[in-house]
Structure 1
Amino acid sequence: METFRTGAGRPWGDHHGCCFCGTDRFFRPGYEANLIDAWLPALDGVVEKLKGGSKVADIGCGHGSSTVLMAGAFPESSFIGYDFHAPSIVTAREKAAQASVSANARFEVKAVKEIEEGGFDLVCMFDALHDMGDPVGAARAIRKSLSPGGTLMLVEPRAGDDLTDNLHLLGQIFYSASTLVCTPASRAQEVGLALGAQAGFKRLTAVLEEAGFSHVRLAVQSDTNMVIEARA
């Protein structure tokens, strides 16, 4: 109640552990159904690079489900999962070991602006940018970490640009989660832009362009998510 009275926000790490597990369980089926067979192939030339061996960052990886899926599908590439929530990184490492992908997938506890490593051919963000206090600053840091010709794959909840476009069952679910978890998490961080889970393609494009990306396009959509390709 105090979070909503003050508008100060609630840090992601202050939630019960079931929130992190539940978030993974909510999104993972969509990743399993779409990531390897539909989303990555929709990006220009990315699958070919991954097959040959690329350096990939998965930022805001949570329990690592997306990272583990990609590492298993593309053993010639190396993957680093980053998240600022230490308990989630512990779980991600366990999942990688269980899936036998620890050889090409590692995980580190770091916020996006703290990442010093660069030269990434692909940077992925799955349902995470809207949770960040400074999404423009985060996207700007990602742009700088990309190798020449590198790609940002931004996966966000599927939403229309106008409120009326989102007045359906799935939209109600995303708005509810955004109100209770995503927006307070953003408010608890620097800037506190409170982008929200239903920002829409137009607003997300504005964020990426402000961060310095000159090529932004909607690559593909599933029933629940939109996949945006961005290049410097």
Structure 2
Amino acid sequence: MEVNEEKLHELLGKVVVEMGAAANGPLITIGDKLGLYTTLSESGPMTAKGLADATGTAERYIKEWLSAQAASGYVQFDSETNQFHMTPEQTMAFGDRNSPVFMTGAFYAITSLYHDEPKMTEAFKTGEGISWGNHNKCLYCGTEKFFSPSYEGNLIASWIPSLEGVVSKLEKGAKVADIGCGHAASTVIMAKAFPNSTFVGIDYHDKSIEEAKLRAKDADLKNISFKVGTAKDFEDKDFDFITFFDCLHDMGDPVGACAHAKSALKEDGTCMIVEPFAMDSLKDNLNPVGRAFYAFSTQLCVPCSLNQEVGAALGAQAGEQKLKEAITAGGFSHFRRATETPFNLILEARP
């Protein structure tokens, strides 16, 4: 076998990048938990000692942490002043929890993947699924922290307005179901924005529903309730609006879930399905976004679906065409892409 040295070095260069990314993951969550990014972004240029003093941390660790962040391109280093700072773009990604592109949550979720690697190894051999509730607890807070900023930045401002006639219904007072609500990030945002409407969050993971109730209580929301249930067995009817946020592809029977949603909607009701952005073919998804979503899909989405009835296993990169097939097979006659972001497809379905 003849080895192409140039291609080998190119490959090894990519592997080194991977090593750095994998090793820096815990440092990102540490930086978030200790407020290192936030303090640096708000205080301007600082030495390692300055950041350590401001955050009550140990200078030697902070110096090494800052060096790793600068080498990653997550903070800036000025060799003349020996100070570090963050650009507005770096702040949006790591220092501002209200930013629509705040990224640290993904690294909390990634922590769970390493903890659960033995389970995944066994699943690869058996073909069996892994339920959402059978993952390391880091997954649940990480998922919420990752999706919440995008929901906060887009849901009320652009996603719901892209749907036909939904805003006016919600403003007047509508009945809404949020299927697969998890910790209720999406449910709480909608309930705050539309106080005349009533919302019910439904999820089959009982621990997530417990947390969702606490989130609603903390927000002092009276127009929101929660139930443990699946997308195919909730009993309420006559909804004006039903939502699925980044969860339809995780379901064992997405067609059945859509059929049940359709039966629970009023004749003039609307269903909004938010899904990870993907093109319809693998070759068009071989990019950084697809790379991240395929990795999560392999370890979270596909095993979650395989653990349920039917086990359709659409995956997080199903693409619009496969989603359309599932949604219309569930009985919806109207389907369209309402809008999109670099990370999401926002789909509208009506009876």
Which residue number corresponds to residue 47 of structure 1? 167
TM-score (structure 1 length as normaliser): 0.98
The alpha carbon displacement at 1:26 in A equals 1.2
* Aligned equivalent of 1:127, options 235, 241, 246: 246
Give the 3-state SS of the residue equivalent to 1:154 in structure 2: strand
The alpha carbon displacement at 1:179 in A equals 0.1
Residues of 1 paired with 2:317 and 2:277: CA distance?
7
Which residue number corresponds to residue 21 of structure 1? 141
The alpha carbon displacement at 1:43 in A equals 0.2
Give the 3-state SS of the residue equivalent to 1:223 in structure 2: coil
Which residue number corresponds to residue 82 of structure 1? 202
Which residue number corresponds to residue 308 of structure 2? 189
State yes or no: 1:221 paired with 2:319.
no
Which residue number corresponds to residue 125 of structure 2? 5
Give the 3-state SS of the residue equivalent to 1:107 in structure 2: strand
Which residue number corresponds to residue 147 of structure 1? 266
Residues of 1 paired with 2:284 and 2:223: CA distance?
41
Which residue number corresponds to residue 98 of structure 1? 218
* Aligned equivalent of 1:38, options 158, 161, 179: 158
C-alpha deviations, 1:113-166, integer Å up to 9, x for none? 110101000000000000000000111000000011000000000100111211
Residues of 2 paired with 1:95 and 1:223: CA distance?
28
TM-score (structure 2 length as normaliser): 0.65
Residues of 2 paired with 1:120 and 1:231: CA distance?
12
Which residue number corresponds to residue 185 of structure 2? 65
The alpha carbon displacement at 1:213 in A equals 0.6
What is the CA RMSD across the aligned residues, in angstroms?
A: 0.6
Greater RCO, CA 8 A, separation 6+: 1
The alpha carbon displacement at 1:226 in A equals 0.7
* Aligned equivalent of 1:201, options 320, 340, 350: 320
* Aligned equivalent of 1:176, options 283, 295, 313: 295
Residues of 1 paired with 2:245 and 2:232: CA distance?
17
Which residue number corresponds to residue 166 of structure 1? 285
C-alpha deviations, 1:4-32, integer Å up to 9, x for none? 11111111111011111111111111101
Identity %: 51
Instruction: Write the letter of the residue equivalent to 1:86.
Output: D
Instruction: Write the letter of the residue equivalent to 1:229.
Output: E
Residues of 1 paired with 2:283 and 2:213: CA distance?
41
Judge which range, 66-75 or 89-98, deviates more. 89-98
The alpha carbon displacement at 1:53 in A equals 0.1
Residues of 2 paired with 1:223 and 1:31: CA distance?
13
Instruction: Write the letter of the residue equivalent to 2:235.
Output: E
Instruction: Write the letter of the residue equivalent to 1:77.
Output: S
Residues of 1 paired with 2:288 and 2:263: CA distance?
38
Give the 3-state SS of the residue equivalent to 1:150 in structure 2: strand
The alpha carbon displacement at 1:168 in A equals 1.2
The number of residues matched between the two structures is 231
Moved over 6 A (4+): none
The alpha carbon displacement at 1:195 in A equals 0.4
Give the 3-state SS of the residue equivalent to 1:148 in structure 2: strand
Instruction: Write the letter of the residue equivalent to 1:224.
Output: F
C-alpha deviations, 1:171-212, integer Å up to 9, x for none? 111100000010001001000010000001111001111111
Instruction: Write the letter of the residue equivalent to 2:300.
Output: V
Instruction: Write the letter of the residue equivalent to 2:241.
Output: L
Residues of 1 paired with 2:133 and 2:270: CA distance?
29
